[in-house]
Chain A
Amino acid sequence: MVKVEGLDKLMAEHPFFQGMDEASRKTLSGCARNERFDDGDYIAHEGKAAERFYFIRSGTVALEFHMQGQDGLIIETLHDGDVFGWSWMVPPYEWAYDIRAVGLTRVISLEATCLRKKLKKDNALGFELYSRFVPVMAKRLYSARQQLTDMYGKS
């Protein structure tokens, strides 16, 4: 098992945590786990409880919509340095789609209940974390809107 101290160092290497003060990162690392997923492993399933959120250290995950009687439809792939799983922040805390590892994927995950407890006690840490999440969400929303334009279609 990876020690909390080791996890803190791994977290410091991830772009999401760059510039975060050491004390905050150490607090968060108390909720962290180092994980690996093999090709084809499902990390999350649509409608299930969102108990963790994830920071990709290396590898790729596919965000998929489940389709009855068919293979899933991939709507986005995420890669090294990306973050996924903000359903932990939004009631009813359920995954909005399936998430599958594409090839060997290494991540750091944070446990949601643990995190919510810490953030309730430490509002400054909550603000710090949300301030980092909002730009990521904004960028992803912007990308999703670009996809909606069907920009490669017939001109």
Chain B
Amino acid sequence: MSTQPKPDPMTPVPFTIVRRRQELKDTFTVELTPASANRFAFQPGQFNMLYAFGVGEVPISISGDPGNPEKLVHTVRNVGAVTDALSKLKKGAEIGVRGPFGSPWPIVEAEGNDVVIVAGGIGLAPLRPAIEHVLANRSKYGRFVILYGARSPADVLYMKQLQNWRGRLDTYVDVTVDHAGRDWAGNVGVVTRLIGRANFDTHHVKVFICGPELMMRFTIKELSDQGVSKDDIYVSMERNMKCAIGHCGHCQFGGHFICKDGPVFPYARIESLMQVRGM
């Protein structure tokens, strides 16, 4: 039996930024390595609390490849004081990390099925580890579909990677934006319109959705119209996570804590809560 003390989930561990990339005008990616270990294992869909020293903590989904645990990757949108402080950190700077926390995408349960990823905006980041996993284990899954919507071509996250995924012969990728200039050769329209053309087996599919809640609602309605069972739909929810271990109650969602019971939920489990106005 190991005598190694279990790390305190409330104590941030220092990580060093080894690479920083500006993805979009307001969105950046950092690659981190821990100061005291050489790997960071996680499951696709989980998140970490990132601590900008002296400013505060924010919950950010892990967006790297679970098959490459030497690198911890986070894509962050600059929307507040903490993310703004994180955005100003350069290569070599330190960030405090607590985690990983939360429930993962059901990638093992999805084996043997078609898998459909529907992402909106920065919602592609929490899904990227699941995409990497499916691609690394491609023979275990049926048709693999990635549908992505963004506001405009300038807001498309991971553009090069989307192109690489599309270039594979075993993956169907479709991208749409809300509006575009003539130099955009892709789709224009809502992400829900991509669903009917994706040609997956609606009776043997697992669908993973991440994006703004409004987009997820529209997507779920379209999937239901197409005949996908609610039991086959999974969503990643976002709330104001603080402690990340279900103690503080900041992220309470009905009888659930998003940080502990989520962020990934089977839709059937939270359907009634998603209909409640103001929740």
Contact = CB atoms under 8 A, between A and B. Distances in A.
Q: Which of B120, B183, B190 is most buried by chain A, counting CB atoms within 10 A of its CB?
A: B190
Tier of interface size on chain B: 20 to 34
A147 B180 CA distance: 12
A20 interface: no
A153 to B, nearest CB: 6
B238 A155 contact: yes
Interface stretch (A30-38, A68-76, A112-120): A68-76
Nearest to B181: A71
Contacts, number: 71
Interface string B159-196: 00000000000000000101111111111111011000
Tier of interface size on chain A: 20 to 34
Contact of B197 (A62, A73, A79, A154): A79
B212 interface: yes
Interface string B219-231: 0000000000000
A143 B191 CA distance: 9
Contacts of B185: 102
A150 interface: yes
A152 B179 contact: no
B190 A152 contact: no
B122 to A, nearest CB: 8
Contact of A151 (B181, B189, B197, B214): B214
Interface in B1-51: 26
Given A152-B120, A152-B211, A154-B77, A146 B182 contact: no
A64 interface: yes
Nearest to B150: A152
Interface string A106-149: 00000000000000000000000000000000000001001101
Interface of A: 62-64, 71-77, 79-80, 102, 143, 146-147, 149-155
Nearest 4 pairs between A and B by C-beta?
A: A152-B121, A71-B182, A146-B190, A152-B151
